[in-house]
């Protein structure tokens, strides 16, 4: 590496380099030393100790708050292994001159595939049918077709576009709302129509969330939101659990306002004992696995490594995240 002094890189995502020994070897060869701490469940005390000797950090979903960064006297870059940066104190990082990066698009196809899989599982009641057969019941179980239905996307970023591509090919009508759409040409090519937020909520048979967690989106899927949805619709959330008021969702599902929900992200992960959504038969739950396919893991790993090494070489990062004062509101 160019520059004075050794370059130490901390790696904390559980799946970084999983099944890709070459990726791990390449990182080890590019820096002086790598600290592999991929066991998960790292609290603030452990993170402070680890980051104190790191120049670069390939980071997972750990909470990287101001107290952690106050110990990061050498840190030059936090290379998020994934897209979301809501767990990183961007203001504190900017104050310390730490570059924050992410890997946009690297897991878009993987998450989109899970979203479509969850829609199909809801529509055809696949988990319930599986349980029935295992319990010795062999009877017809009616479902609904995805073909011909309206799929609404709240957010039309990389993942939303990949979902649209897949469901449009299945004969769905796709409507989307995004405050600042980045790809109107892609929407036109796919036959996706932009609409107001209220229209998307009210007309969708399947409504999928693709929003970041911001002050105006946190908890926005609340009782009023759910009451405004089309009766008998399905909700899919493979974005962030903090978007959803889970108590309100339990009520909407229990009352029959919604036919079902599929959630790959929860407000608290893992959920606590007695988790109310877990008791409902019309809910499908997965443990935040949207990005975890062989292709996505490799793509995220290589993109995160490229970001980290570029900053340590004194070069611009391929995928920098703008400091808070420059971020779109």
Catalytic residue among 74, 124, 197, 288: 288
Distance CA 322, CA 309 (A): 18
Task: Confirm if 20 and 297 have CB atoms less than 8 A apart.
Answer: yes
Known catalytic residue at 288: yes
Distance CA 325, CA 234 (A): 36
Q: Among residues 210, 172, 209, 211, which one has the least CA distance to residue 190?
A: 172
Task: Confirm if 39 and 66 have CB atoms less than 8 A apart.
Answer: no
CA 115 to mean position of chain CA atoms: 11
Known catalytic residue at 295: no
Catalytic residue among 80, 125, 161, 240: 240
Distance CA 77, CA 9 (A): 10
Distance CA 63, CA 87 (A): 5
Known catalytic residue at 26: no
Catalytic residue among 269, 295, 315, 327: 269
Structure token digits, residue 234: 């399905």
| Beta-carbon contacts of residue 112 (< 8 Å; ≥ 6 apart) | 159, 162, 163, 165, 166
Helical pair 108-124 and 126-134, crossing angle rounded to 10 deg: 60
Task: Confirm if 47 and 66 have CB atoms less than 8 A apart.
Answer: no
Distance CA 292, CA 43 (A): 23
Q: Which residues are catalytic?
A: 240, 269, 288
């Amino acid at each position: 590496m160019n520059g004075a002094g050794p370059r130490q890189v901390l790696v904390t995502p559980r799946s970084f380099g999983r099944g890709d020994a070459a990726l791990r070897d390449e990182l080890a060869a590019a820096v002086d030393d790598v600290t592999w701490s991929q066991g998960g469940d790292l609290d603030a005390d452990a993170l402070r100790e680890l980051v104190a000797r790191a120049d670069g950090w390939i980071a997972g979903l750990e909470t990287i708050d101001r107290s952690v960064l106050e110990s990061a006297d050498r840190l030059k870059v936090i290379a998020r292994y994934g897209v979301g940066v809501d767990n990183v104190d961007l203001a504190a990082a900017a104050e310390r001159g730490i570059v924050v990066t992410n890997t946009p698009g690297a897991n878009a196809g993987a998450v989109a595939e899970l979203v479509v899989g969850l829609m199909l599982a809801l529509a055809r009641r696949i988990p319930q049918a599986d349980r029935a057969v295992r319990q010795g019941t062999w009877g017809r179980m009616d479902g609904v077709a995805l073909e011909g239905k309206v799929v609404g996307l709240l957010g039309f970023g990389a993942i939303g576009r990949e979902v649209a591509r897949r469901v449009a090919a299945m004969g769905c009508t796709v409507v989307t709302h995004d405050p600042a759409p980045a790809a109107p040409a892609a929407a036109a090519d796919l036959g996706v129509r932009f609409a107001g937020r209220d229209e998307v909520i009210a007309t969708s048979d399947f409504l999928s969330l693709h929003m970041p967690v911001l002050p105006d989106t946190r908890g926005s899927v609340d009782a009023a939101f759910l009451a405004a949805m089309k009766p008998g619709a399905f909700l899919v959330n493979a974005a962030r659990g903090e978007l959803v008021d889970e108590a309100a969702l339990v009520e909407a599902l229990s009352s029959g306002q919604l036919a079902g929900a599929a959630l790959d992200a929860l407000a608290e992960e893992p959920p606590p004992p007695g988790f109310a959504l877990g008791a409902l038969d019309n809910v499908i739950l997965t443990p935040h696995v949207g990005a975890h396919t062989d292709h996505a893991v490799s793509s995220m790993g290589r993109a995160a490594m490229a970001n980290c090494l570029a900053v340590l070489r004194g070069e611009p990062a391929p995928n920098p995240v703008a400091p808070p004062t420059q971020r779109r509101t």
